[in-house]
Amino acid sequence: MMGPGKLSRLIADPGSPALLRGEIWVSPDVLAQAGFARGPQGLVALASSLGADICFFPWPGPAAVPDLKELAELAHFAGLDCGLTIDGPFQRLASAGNVLDVFLELGRDPAGFRRRLNREMEGITKFLGLIEEAGIGLVVIGEDVGYAGGLYFSPEVFHSHLLPFYRVLVGRLSPEGIAVGWHSDGKVAPILPDLLQCGFRFFALEPECVDLLRFKRAHGPRATLIGGVRTEWLTTEEPGPEQQARWREEIRELAGEGGLIVASCCGIHSPLFLSRLRRLYRLFDGI
């Protein structure tokens, strides 16, 4: 297996039609059921078994900060580039309780919502210093602010509450040579130009909700995609030759517009997805 370095080449030349592989989220239960250890060692073993190029590790939060240098070394020893996924401030609030309560608080007590959001931002900001010298190539901020019908809140709320924090985050990491990406489910196309202007260069978006090819053609090398694998592709038990040909062509078109990290944006939350993901990775060989 080749040593790490494919990601750095993609960052240096995002317009090249490079195709890498790497899953940004795998359920610990899936790791265990597939015979891998829960945690970093299992993620590295799984990535290696899939033939991936990048291993993404999740940041568990301020209460359990991992040794990031050890994570990077673990991935590099296996010949993998190292990525890190971090829940953004809104995602952390929504994950801590009922997301409906978060929306109610935003409407009834915007000052209280802002205070809680600021606390989450402060916790993430303190953590940034640990990333800068760890050997991590890509940091992806997970922030589910959309669903199939559109954004959860108005673009104005996004601009006033989250965008200033993103500018600080990207400004802090990018000068150190760390690529910064952003992920959300749903129809988030209206805010993508703002995120590009903010400095994000990697985007993990649902192909069912965002026209990825149109996005790539509009923004060229400014936007590298992480994803492309539709949920349908992981839930189809026995795709026929015509289906597989369409899937391969869709990925080929995306990769042809510039760098692409093939991944499933829905995440690997079922053991059945692993065998189907291996099938897809083989299908995309040679693109």
**Does residue 112 fall inside a structural domain?**
yes
pLDDT, residue 152, reads: 87
Counting the structural domains of the chain, the total is 1
**Does residue 18 fall inside a structural domain?**
yes
> Is the distance from CB of 185 to CB of 206 less than 8 angstroms?
yes
Strand partners, 141: 86, 182
pLDDT, residue 214, reads: 95
**Does residue 1 fall inside a structural domain?**
no
Q: Which stretches of the chain score pLDDT less than 50?
A: 1-3
Looking up residue 84, the CATH number of its domain turns out to be 3.20.20.210
CA distances from 111 to 147, 226, 235 (A): 25, 35, 43
pLDDT, residue 60, reads: 67
pLDDT, residue 221, reads: 80
> Is the distance from CB of 32 to CB of 49 less than 8 angstroms?
no
Average pLDDT, the chain: 89
pLDDT, residue 220, reads: 80
**Does residue 186 fall inside a structural domain?**
yes
Domain span at residue 138?
6-283
**Does residue 271 fall inside a structural domain?**
yes
**Does residue 226 fall inside a structural domain?**
yes
Q: How far apart are the first and last CA of the chain?
A: 18
**Does residue 45 fall inside a structural domain?**
yes
CA distances from 29 to 38, 39, 153, 174, 229 (A): 8, 10, 32, 34, 21
